[in-house]
A and B are shown apart, each in its own frame.
Chain A
């Protein structure tokens, strides 16, 4: 964990851009429609980076071949955004015109271990190439896949996409399907295209006080520069956290989210009082008619948690636990119906501008094995356009570190990030610090 004094030149170089078609042509006239949830997330993007050790079958050429293969199952990914002129609603939808996904070739001038030990936040961001929609959405690929070769033959695969199309779970499931296609194994979670999953109920009760409040917040005039840092907590660190909390029913998420909420807030203002945290939780499995893991699209439920930060860490953790386990399906539906009502209006920022936390540790992300038994060495996930007070992403850690291991990616305004990764209360639990900002 080296911190250079002066800004270092990035070791990642992008040298070629191309497009990957699917192996089988898409039937003309196919389309994919978005749900209200998809529309609400359109301002953000998802970036998933998986790092792999050198394997004879994991080469750029072979991966590109298997990518073309798996894309045959995802016609929505190879399509382009068009306005739905059909039934006069004028909303965005995907025309599955078989255009393919963008691919970017890159090389990193270092070995994988050296990179994981010393790379900056900026360098990790360069492993998932992304271009925002330009002047013509019809020519813009909503997905971009980057292959980065390291000096020792290791590889990093970066999948970036617009949050309009998919949430982080969807991207992780795609990576898994791709790896299974690469190994010529059966795809365990084939994509499930069902835009009617979040169609309002027969008797809709559209109401979401939290989101209504968010929608009225004006976008910040001068959004602060953001930077990130990654904390990799091993199972023992998390167990230590839980032990310190002394409550038996808390999960690793409750412990870590509350710890970070407390510490971030303490740096923002000297006095702590009642504060609100926005939580984003995957609700595929929380519906009474549960959606399969392969459900293609967004299934994140955003809600607010209020807690009195001055009451201490234990209180905050138990409040979080109470709220997360107490999510009612009705709340999810009300939220969806509220979003559906305002789907014609411009989408507002969902991750932020207030402090937001994405609870993503219940989704397995280390199962994209391109070579049998060769799971990723590390997986990182970022959300684009989450400016404001900050975003905390809590995801599963490397299986080698234990079941309770967690990776926490904290994105904050730059000056806050500099303080947070030196925070004693967090460092007490000995997390490995990765991808710190270059300051």
Chain B
């Protein structure tokens, strides 16, 4: 038989096995080192026999003082170690707001309303093009006030929306966890665009009759990444207060923010932002460890506001006609990519296995010292995480992250499907995505989840969770009635 050239797949298979072998070697290096050492020690001890061991011990000539001091030192070191460890933060459970189907906005209705409200046909055409390529579906919902022609954004309507979404989510959470409102110690609410007096957190305290010594916070103006900021704040507070729990509410109130003008860079939020809210219960109590779903491993916050371009990237201002809107600059994707790079530079060493970190380090050294044209090594985050929740800010964001992190379609499925079913619900979208993964029965014990949020500022925040118990389907939540229809194939352009 003539020697045939090796087919391509065989070389890549060989490379795959080399890579696997390298990973096992590096990641389990300590284990691989310790096991032979322990084996040698055990063999040695067994060889020497008990009498020799006793004689070695006697020869040490230890008396009570020595033993007491050594034990004291050991106990002291252990105590300091355990006390200085951060308190574990558990996510007991969370609930997302499920909008009523009568609030839904089909594409045809949206375009009809836009044509009737907007005087400029070019704006109408622009919004049609955005909607066609947006990746949204026909079941996304807007608050009741935005269904009017023209929309009716009174403060009363905004408060009504806030009450509807927040109270529904909290009621759901109370049902799921058996939480008693009087037992809530910390309350953090984040809602970027609507900030009435008294605050939304005061509204919750009032409705649920929370305790008078509750630590409540209301974060506003912090954009779509504020959900993870609230988690970070709650975590820091839970380090200081032992045996407490924290209720975190992430939402965005759409009613007051309908843009009435014609500037193209301000029309995107009208097309993409939809109603949503999430209520999360965090706890540092040991007894919640058995019933909690997740444990918070890391939160990494990156703020690029020091750079002027990043600062003005998502900017709320009035246009020439006096209409207030949020303008999104053209270099949004570039700045997001930049912020993401900073964020993963910080989070990489915390979560990546040693094999990836070494590869990255050597490539970095190689680029700096040997050959600057070497391609930078992008660490394989798929080895650090089983699930990814990328903020469903828009199709472009998800596409960009899928490309830069080299994720497969299944990894970004949760984000795409959430964008399709619920639209861009701002800070709460990460929780809808997590719920999607759970509803699909993919969340197993020990799985790690990476939530990435982007927001005005420009900020990129990450949170890493570890699943503590396998989540059994069916899952009660916003996906309950429609999960069987997903995933759907979302066309590039929907013809309107």
Contact = CB atoms under 8 A, between A and B. Distances in A.
Interface string A114-154: 00000000000000000000001001010000000000000
A318 to B, nearest CB: 53
B178 interface: no
Nearest to A61: B144
Interface string A62-101: 0011001100000000001000000000000000011110
Contacts of B100: 65
Given A16-B148, A18-B149, A98 B109 contact: yes
Contacts of A68: 101-102
A16 B146 CA distance: 12
B105 to A, nearest CB: 7
A352 interface: no
A437 interface: no
A339 to B, nearest CB: 31
B311 to A, nearest CB: 38
A100 B109 contact: yes
A414 B100 CA distance: 48
A300 B147 CA distance: 36
A31 interface: no
B431 to A, nearest CB: 24
B293 interface: no
Contacts of A367: none
A98 B140 CA distance: 13
Interface stretch (A19-27, A307-315, A385-393): A19-27
A141 B138 CA distance: 19
Nearest to A71: B102
B109 A16 contact: no
B399 interface: no
Given A80-B108, A97-B108, A139-B116, A17 B149 contact: yes
Contacts of A99: 106, 108-109, 112
Contacts of A65: 100, 102
B149 A25 contact: no
B22 to A, nearest CB: 50
B166 to A, nearest CB: 19
Contacts of A21: 101-102, 104-106, 109
Contacts of B152: 16
A100 B109 CA distance: 7
A65 B100 CA distance: 9
B103 to A, nearest CB: 8
Contacts of A136: 115
A100 B148 CA distance: 13
Contacts of B107: 98
Contacts of B312: none
**Most chain-A Cβ atoms within 10 A of its Cβ — which of B100, B116, B138?**
B138
A70 B467 CA distance: 43
A17 B109 CA distance: 13
Interface in B102-146: 102, 104-109, 112-113, 115-116, 138-139
A64 B109 CA distance: 16
Interface in B73-115: 100-102, 104-109, 112-113, 115
A139 B148 contact: no
Given A25-B138, A25-B139, A80-B108, A20 B102 contact: yes
A435 to B, nearest CB: 29
A300 to B, nearest CB: 30
B261 to A, nearest CB: 21
Interface string A1-40: 0000000000000001111110111000000000000000
Contacts of B138: 25, 98
B108 A98 contact: yes
B109 to A, nearest CB: 5
A24 B112 contact: no
A98 B105 CA distance: 9
Given A25-B138, A25-B139, A139-B116, A19 B109 contact: yes
Contacts of A23: 101-102, 104
Nearest to B104: A21
Nearest to B141: A21
B102 A64 contact: yes
B495 to A, nearest CB: 9
A19 B147 contact: yes
Contacts of B104: 21, 23, 25
B102 A25 contact: no
Contacts of A139: 112, 115-116
A20 B148 CA distance: 10
B5 to A, nearest CB: 50
Given A80-B108, A99-B108, A19 B113 contact: yes
Of B108, B138, B149, most A-chain CB atoms within 10 Å: B108
Contacts of B147: 18-19
Given A18-B149, A98-B107, A99-B109, 17 more contacts: A17-B149, A19-B113, A21-B102, A21-B105, A21-B109, A23-B102, A25-B139, A65-B100, A80-B108, A97-B106, A98-B109, A98-B138, A99-B106, A99-B112, A136-B115, A139-B112, A139-B116
Interface of A: 16-21, 23-25, 64-65, 68-69, 80, 97-100, 136, 139, 141
22 contacts: A19-B109, A19-B147, A21-B105, A23-B102, A25-B104, A25-B138, A64-B102, A65-B100, A68-B101, A68-B102, A69-B102, A80-B108, A98-B106, A98-B109, A99-B106, A99-B109, A100-B108, A100-B109, A136-B115, A139-B112, A139-B115, A139-B116
10 closest A-B pairs (Cβ-Cβ)?
A: A99-B108, A68-B102, A98-B106, A97-B108, A25-B138, A23-B101, A18-B147, A18-B148, A17-B149, A100-B109
